[in-house]
Amino acid sequence: MYAVEVRDHIMVAHSLRGEVFGPAQRLHGATYVVDVAFFREALGADNIVVDIGRALDALKATLHAINYVNLDDHPALAGQLTTTEFLCRYVFDRMADAIREGKLGAHAVGIDRMRVTLNESHVARAWYEAAVAH
């Protein structure tokens, strides 16, 4: 199994409803340093997993939609509990859409799986990994 992973980041505000979140129920914020890993069984043309330039562009475009915002007020996230885990899945689904829409180029048709990691501090992070449907 081959993989390539790229990194970008977002800075968001949000609040988390539910007793389990303690002080995070208040409006606060986070820097999420976001890693997206693309997996495939065999290398494609050009000996690559994915066009890394397009992967970085697609990640930037995906993150742009939720960067420098208060997620509590974001139309696409209305009523959602925007935990780090949830946001991993949100980025995963948008990146999978980008692959299907051809935004990562022809190489990306061979991508089997993807993993999205959100690093939220020096002591905590979360990720979501799954197969990519084509």
Q: Which residues bind a copy of itself (CB under 8 A)?
A: 1-9, 11-14, 18, 20-24, 26-33, 43, 46-49, 51-53, 56, 67-70, 73, 80-86, 88-89, 105, 107, 120-130
Using the minimum distance from each CB to a copy of itself, give the nearer residue, 12 or 98.
Answer: 12
Minimum CB separation of residue 132 from a copy of itself in Å reads 14
b/e per residue, 63-78, with b = 16+ CB within 10 A? beebeeeebbeeeebe
Cβ burial of 8 (10 Å; 0-12, 13-18, 19+) is middle
Minimum CB separation of residue 95 from a copy of itself in Å reads 16
Contact call for residues 114 and 36 (beta carbons, < 8 A): yes
Counting DSSP H helices and E strands in the chain, the numbers are 2, 4
Which residues, other chains included, contact 64 with Cβ-Cβ below 8 Å and sequence gap of 6+?
none
User: If you count them, how many residues does the chain have?
Assistant: 134
Using the minimum distance from each CB to a copy of itself, give the nearer residue, 64 or 134.
Answer: 64
Using the minimum distance from each CB to a copy of itself, give the nearer residue, 77 or 98.
Answer: 77
Minimum CB separation of residue 62 from a copy of itself in Å reads 15
Using the minimum distance from each CB to a copy of itself, give the nearer residue, 16 or 98.
Answer: 16
Minimum CB separation of residue 97 from a copy of itself in Å reads 19
